[in-house]
Amino acid sequence: MNASFVVELRKRRVVAILRGLGPREAEAVAEVLLDAGFDWLEVPLNRPGALEALACLSRSPLAAQLRLGAGTVCTTEQVQQAVEAGARYLLSPNLNLGVLAEARRLGVPFVPGVMTPSECFAALEAGAAALKLFPFRALGAAGVRDLQAVLPGPFLGVGGVSTENLREVLGVCEAAGLGSLFWAPGTPLEVLRTRAAEISAIAAQAAPP
């Protein structure tokens, strides 16, 4: 389960974090992102309508082309709700071993937020699919390289990722998670289309870690 998840994550390189996505705009936003080559979408659960948006996308004609995930999953109840809504992987901003265990029980890859070597090792030992370095800006590329001296990863860099440092993030992490750089509530679809094209061009030029 985790091995295939990591293989696909390394291929895709970018996860679009759609915080505040609601069911009414979900399909239109996803279609623009798919057109630009982004099929890994994360809907964080800490905004109203998130579960409804996930369920909408999982039932839409686009579902077969999407890799849908739920973010900010902090309780075992949210694990169950997200999976029922159609999430195929889960992320959190922290390491909660009980939440990770529930995701594993349901057979869903889980990516916890970590910062320290102790958290990283504990997460991997508990069966995390990958390590979400959050917030990435606090570690920076130099900090990640220091971690890589003792940790194999795989790493997902999230928090403070911009067009200015995306190439650097992807140089030390298997993938990056981008939020408002892609989309925020109220972003016109044409703006999203322009941003997605710019991000795609930068990611295509980034060397693997």
The residues assigned a catalytic role are 42, 132
Q: Is the dihedral of CA 90, 94, 98, 100 positive or negative?
A: positive
The token duo for 65 is 């082309």
User: What would the DSSP string read from start to end of 55-68?
Assistant: HHHHHSTTGGG-EE
Residue whose tokens read 């508990």? 126
Per the CB < 8 A criterion, the answer to whether 26 and 80 are in contact is no
Strand positions, DSSP E, the chain:
14-17, 40-44, 67-71, 89-91, 110-111, 113-114, 131-133, 155-158, 175-178
Written as one letter, the residue type at 97 is: L
